[in-house]
Amino acid sequence: MKINEIAFVTYGVKDMPRARKFYEETLGLKPTSVWEGEKMAFIEYSFGKSGVHTLAIGKGAKNFKPGKGGATVGLEMDNFDSAIESLKKNKVKFIMQPYDTGGCDMAIIADPDGNQLMIHKIKSKSK
């Protein structure tokens, strides 16, 4: 068996309109696939240079449980400092304040349902 790439990461949410506002307005993601039923919903946001990286939010399925006990997706940023400034301006909850590891900058934030997202910027390697 060979795994080629991550197809997508899904976070469970409780309130889809509130979650969409956070992912679309605060993080600036654009939905690429939207399915909203009466009791269930699934929204995909694809991004990256090739558009193949997908973060999804889902509501209603018994396996979509929101909260910090689940996975943490790392979102690579063009400008880490600008992203942090924008998140703070939007009063996003920081679980881990910005941290410089030497090889990267990272911080962990929470969406409105407590799901963790890592804001990340790898540092360029000097020769």
Predicted local confidence at residue 20, as pLDDT: 96
- List, for residues 84-123, the tens digit of each pLDDT value: 999 999 999 999 999 998 888 999 999 999 999 999 998 8
With residues binned 3-state (H G I as helix, E B as strand, rest as coil), the percentages for the chain, rounded to 5, are 15, 40, 45
pLDDT of 127 > 50? The answer is no
3 state SS of 44: strand
State the maximum Cα–Cα separation within the chain, in Å, rounded to a whole number. 56
Query: Residues 45, 56: contact at Cβ < 8 Å?
Result: yes
The pLDDT value recorded for residue 22 is 97
Q: Who wins on pLDDT, 96 or 64?
A: 96
- Predicted local distance difference test score (pLDDT) of residue 3: 59
In the numeric block, the tokens 């996003």 are attached to 92
**Where is average pLDDT lowest: 20-24, 50-54, 81-85?**
50-54
